[in-house]
Amino acid sequence: MKQPLMITQAHIERYDVSGPRYTSYPTADRFVEAFDASAYVKALEQRNISAWTQPLSVYVHVPFCESLCFYCACNKIVTKRHEQGAQYLNYLKREIDLHLSRFDHPQTVNQCHLGGGTPTFLNDDELSALMQMLKQVFVFEAAGEYSIEIDPRTVDTQRLQHLRDLGFNRLSFGVQDFDADVQQAVHRVQSYKQVASLMQDARNMGFQSMNADLIYGLPKQTPVTFRQTISQIITLRPDRIALYGYAHLPSRFKPQRRILHEDLPNAVDKIQMLSEAIQQLISAGYVYIGMDHFALPEDALAIAKQQGRLHRNFQGYSTMADQDILALGVSAIGKMGSTYSQNAKTIEEYYDYLDQGQLPIVRGLALNRDDLIRRAVIMAIMCHGELSYESIELSYMINFKEYFKTELQQIEEKQKQGLVYLEHDGIKVTDMGWFFVRAIAMVFDRYLQLDANRARFSKIL
């Protein structure tokens, strides 16, 4: 894909605004407390009686971290008291058992992901106990995707081998940036040599896929320093690369208040970092999946994009179909049928619900027909960069141009700006439009169009 060289200052000024990442639609800020544990149980029951049930995806949130990364917006508990891990596992077991009591037949799992926080905060015995809990309840497919996020500062070769022995076949390395000044500014110091050694060990152990997370827009970053980080990550050749834009929301995330605003790169520098990183990665043989993901051509994610099977969920782009996600742990977000749900956000509240023998669901959403239509439109744009009117019309029995008359007028403006091709039978995102794909998707977000307060979201650039 040829990359554009025509992004102007006008584009940057127009789109230096806040907007969702669309790992779901409607977005999590639209969840309501009226959707509680009883509503979630109804969704579980509906799964039980459905004639054909897809395998589950299971997400487990482990909130603990030994040290604080200033950029982090995740739900985490910073502590060096590792005994908290054992207590947390006891409560996870209670939550798993409550789910087990609601299923009337064995549930197959083809995807399991441990995130956080830092899942490797748990020691080897605790990780073994967690996986045993899950495998006693769920049937894990032999060819499934089983991944875990790791902080390179918390693992060594022996721990990697233990993860492999437990059945994990995919690793996600938190890298962010290799520049020493940037690492100091965000309070996360780890060497290139350390990451390189672990990745090589993982390859030798037979892990099927490795992902590296990078962030552009961090304090002290410049286009020059980030170009070097991209060059270094290319030498490590991870199968996938997630390249996120830093979301500076200090009013919402207290750790970010330690980052000085004057240390942050401006929008011009951020777009240069993104543009150059895309060019570097594509030149090195990576496929641009979309927005924030890259993959080697032989990786399942790249193959899914080529075949039109790409999906997007709460963990980002995925090869799996639009399947149910059973979420376990504090603050975890799941999807069951046409509903979303979220667990209690504080560990005290999470424990309290389980002490009472209740599922810890505190909010969620049951999607209506309009939500489902708009979700299909937004995910087509975010995942495939193109939208067929006919596919939406046949699926939902609507006249697309009438249903989205107002939105298509806004899309005409996006066409004038060079972000999309507006054709008689659909919409296609241009090469330049991928830089602003969130802005294109936002046109079809009914909630956002009615809401003037968008500051709670991260900046598009």
Exposure of 38 in the CB half-sphere (CA atoms within 13 A) = 2
> What pLDDT is stored for residue 94 in this prediction?
97
What is the reported pLDDT for 323? 86
Question: What is the rounded CA–CA span in Å between residue 283 and residue 450?
Answer: 41
Residue 427, beta-bridge partner list: 387, 422
| CATH number belonging to domain 1-18+368-453 | 1.10.10.920
pLDDT digits (tens, 9 = 90+) for 81-102: 989 999 999 999 999 999 998 8
Buried b (16+ CB within 10 A) or exposed e, 349-382: ebbebbeeeebbbbbbbbbeeebebbbbbbbbbb
Q: What is the pLDDT of residues 400-425, one digit of tens each?
A: 999 999 999 999 999 999 999 999 99
Query: Is residue 289 over pLDDT 90?
Result: no
Q: pLDDT at position 457, please?
A: 61
Q: Where are the domains of the chain?
A: 1-18+368-453
At residue 9, the pLDDT reads 67
Please, what is the average pLDDT of the chain?
90
The DSSP code for 319 is S
Q: How far apart are CA 117 and CA 119, in angstroms?
A: 6
Query: What's the pLDDT score for residue 43?
Result: 93
pLDDT at 319 over 90: no
Quick check: helix, strand or coil at residue 34? coil
Please name the residues in contact with 81: beta carbons below 8 A apart, sequence gap of 6 or more: none
Q: If you ran DSSP here, which 8-state letter would residue 89 be given? A: H
Q: Of 456 and 36, which is predicted with more confidence?
A: 36
**Which 8-state DSSP code applies to residue 459?**
B
One-letter amino acid identity for 410? Q
Do the Cβ atoms of 290 and 13 come closer than 8 Å?
no
pTM over 0.95: no
Side chain identity, residue 308: G
Between residues 254 and 347, the one the model is more confident about? 347
Q: How high is the pLDDT of residue 460? A: 58
Per-residue pLDDT, 214: 96
Asked whether residue 456 carries a pLDDT value surpassing 60, the answer given is no
Residue 1 has pLDDT above 50, yes or no: no
Q: Which pLDDT tens digit goes with each residue over 242-252?
A: 998 888 888 88
Structure tokens at 54: 């897809």
Angle (deg, nearest 10), helices 369-384 and 389-396: 150
Q: What confidence category does residue 321 fall into, taking pLDDT thresholds of 50, 70 and 90?
A: low
pLDDT, tens digit, for every residue of 35-76? 999 999 999 998 888 756 788 999 999 999 988 898 888 888
| pLDDT value at residue 267 | 83
DSSP state of 145: E
Burial of 326 (0-12, 13-18, 19+ CB in 10 A): buried
Task: Give me the mean pLDDT over the 304-333 stretch.
Answer: 84
CA 250 to each of CA 72, 254, 257, 332, 391: distance values in angstroms, whole numbers, following the listed order? 10, 6, 5, 22, 41
Contact between 387 and 437 under an 8 Å Cβ cutoff? The reply is: no
pLDDT exceeds 90 at position 313: no
Task: State what percent of residues in the chain have pLDDT above 70.
Answer: 94
